[in-house]
Amino acid sequence: MISFKEINHKEFELCFELDSNTISLWTKNQWESEFKKKGVKVVAMLIKKKIIGIYVLHTIIDEAQINYFSIKKRFRRKGYGSYLMNYLIKQCEKLNIKKLLLEVSETNSIAEVFYSKFNFLTVGRRKNYYKDGTDAVLKEKYL
Ligand SMILES: CC(C)(COP(=O)(O)OP(=O)(O)OC[C@H]1O[C@@H](n2cnc3c(N)ncnc32)[C@H](O)[C@@H]1OP(=O)(O)O)[C@@H](O)C(=O)NCCC(=O)NCCS
């Protein structure tokens, strides 16, 4: 059975653990400081009480930036990413958020297809944004 849970700052190590086993985007310190930002909400999706996906949403007035979105490797391509994104969108609509934003590496072709499926449009690019010199593609979606 699928459930959702807001992760609080004391549980940041749970996020680090999932991240280490998926995309290794942030260090423990980065996760800890993410929780300290005003307007940040971290939500986990669980199956049988085990976390299989996480998103981090940073809301500023009526816009929200998706700072992190990932599904555990062995649960991918089974519709869980879409399930989590639909939940995120529903939560944003309830909060009257008008626009979703995100950044994704130009080399992440799976994420490209995934976000296109949800009608995110490319609106810009940050040159040499990532450590490996690749660009970040900026995407947004109006709700
Ligand atoms: C992107 C991600 C969240 C998708 O999660 P998922 O659970 O696999 O997604 P779904 O099963 O709901 O797939 C939805 C759609 O995404 C696309 N997609 C997902 N995985 C794909 C793959 N390996 N190849 C091509 N398209 C893919 C397909 O269009 C798919 O629809 P379909 O199954 O009807 O063809 C997951 O791959 C992931 O966690 N990636 C690592 C983290 C990441 O890159 N996050 C985004 C940038 S921060």
What is the chain's Cα-based Rg? 15
What pLDDT does residue 132 have?
87
CATH of 2-97, one of 3.90.1280.10, 3.40.630.30, 3.60.20.10, 2.60.120.280: 3.40.630.30
What pLDDT does residue 23 have?
87
Q: Report which ligand 1 atom has the smallest distance to the Cα of 82.
A: 12
Domain limits of the chain?
A: 2-97, 103-143
What pLDDT does residue 134 have?
93
Q: Report which ligand 1 atom has the smallest distance to the Cα of 75.
A: 7
The secondary structure of 5-39 as a DSSP string is: EEEPGGGHHHHHHHHHTTT--S-HHHHHHHTTSTT
Question: For 3-33, what is each residue's pLDDT tens digit?
Answer: 999 999 899 999 999 999 888 889 999 999 9
Please give the chain's pLDDT, 143 residues, in tens: 999 999 998 999 999 999 998 888 899 999 999 999 999 999 999 999 999 999 999 999 999 999 999 999 999 999 999 999 999 999 999 999 999 999 999 999 999 999 999 999 999 999 999 888 999 999 999 99
Each residue of 112-132: b (16+ CB within 10 Å) or e? bebbeeeebeeeeeeeebeee
Separation of CA 109 and ligand 1 centre (Å)? 9
> Global pTM?
0.96
Whose alpha carbon is nearest atom 40 of ligand 1?
70
What pLDDT does residue 27 have?
93
What pLDDT does residue 130 have?
86
- How far, in Å, CA of 130 to CA of 111, rounded? 16
Q: What is the 3-state secondary structure (H, E, C) of 99-138?
A: EEEEEEECCCHHHHHHHHHCCCEEEEEECCCCCCCCCEEE
What pLDDT does residue 78 have?
97
Separation of CA 53 and ligand 1 centre (Å)? 12
What pLDDT does residue 98 have?
98
Q: How would you classify the pairing of strands 63-71 and 99-105? A: parallel
